[in-house]
Copies of this chain bind each other. A is one copy, B any other.
């Protein structure tokens, strides 16, 4: 904690002033660009990764970036999503998994979760992921299976997301876009799911920003 407290002081004494205007403007209200859903894993910094500032990303984080289907859980996921879409008018939702995810490792090794009953129960919302991985990649080594679980889980959670009424309505009206990403910690690269290719593609390849065309659209599911 000492390190964290020292950081607080450093922020207040040395950093805050340089962003004072931004923060004072933000105090009047937020208007974020997107809802970013990712894992609680300490190795992920959404703002670092996207080089965004306070006010840019509305962020939902839990173990495994899991979104239970509508009605399947009364935790914060449904409410946070509904608030983002309905109250804040968010138009883009990113579900971002990551390499080496402990939750996905646990999903494939449920025998290791006997002393973590809440985790075990939570991973029920990723049961589709588990079954797809076991059936689709039966003979892979450990590391590949976890990475495939990460990818399949992003797709499974996007399906779950679609059952939420605010999302379903936004999609039906063409007002909302969903994005499925995987972040590779060791390389800093991000892969986006491309529905037409049924693959995750390194985002630089799919996203020729130069032409000014929205990358987002291309990778929308």
Contacts and interface: CB of A to CB of B under 8 A. Distances in A.
Interface in A88-108: 92, 94, 99-100, 102-103, 106
Interface string A182-221: 0001111110000000000001100101001011100000
B86 A115 contact: yes
Contact of A1 (B7, B12, B33, B75): B33
A30 B11 contact: no
Contacts of A165: 127-128, 130-131
A47 B204 CA distance: 26
Count identical subunits in the complex: 6
Contacts of A34: 1, 4
Interface residues of A, number: 120
B159 A163 contact: yes
A69 B164 CA distance: 10
Given A159-B163, A168-B128, A209 B71 contact: no
Nearest to A120: B79
A196 B163 CA distance: 21
A139 B130 CA distance: 39
A76 B79 contact: no
B58 A80 contact: no
Contact of A72 (B51, B60, B71): B71
Given A79-B121, A136-B173, A204-B9, A215 B58 contact: no
Contacts of A203: 5, 8-9
